[in-house]
Amino acid sequence: MRTIAFVMAVHPEHITEYVHRHQPIWPELTQTLQEHGVIEYSIFLHPGTCQVFAVAKIESQEQWDAIAETDVCRRWWAHMAPLMPTNPDDSPIAVPLEPVFDLER
């Protein structure tokens, strides 16, 4: 298992809708994430910058990367694209974060 983290952005005028669309996410997307080895996945909003910070515990990078090829992921990206900066394929522009510190117990 490994932990990954990344930052995305939301257009300021769409913050409320972005939050609403995650309350909850589609059940079939939840199922796909779980089937692809996602153990935990959380998103946090920084209201001052309209950035969202995501952290996920995944079984493998390969399984995580394969999520992008699923129909439900592509539909989710298209559903969310009007709310945030995206790549040409509608995937959100996400900047991976490098781990600096981890307190393990």
Ordered by where they begin, the domains of the chain are 2-96 (3.30.70.100)
Q: Looking at the annotation, which residues are catalytic?
A: 22
pLDDT of residue 33: 98
> Model confidence over 2-47: pLDDT tens digits?
999 999 999 999 999 999 999 999 999 999 999 999 999 999 999 9
Percent of the chain, pLDDT > 70? 100
Residues near 2 by beta carbon (within 8 Å), at least 6 away in sequence: 57, 58, 60, 61
| Cα distance between residue 71 and residue 42, in whole Å | 22
Q: Is the torsion defined by CA of 13, 93, 21, 42 positive or negative?
A: negative
pLDDT of residue 105: 74
Q: What is the pTM of this model?
A: 0.93
Within 1-105, residue ranges assigned H as helices are 15-21, 27-35, 61-67, 71-80
Strand ranges of the sheet holding 38-46, from the earlier edge strand across to the other edge: 38-46, 51-58, 2-9, 95-96
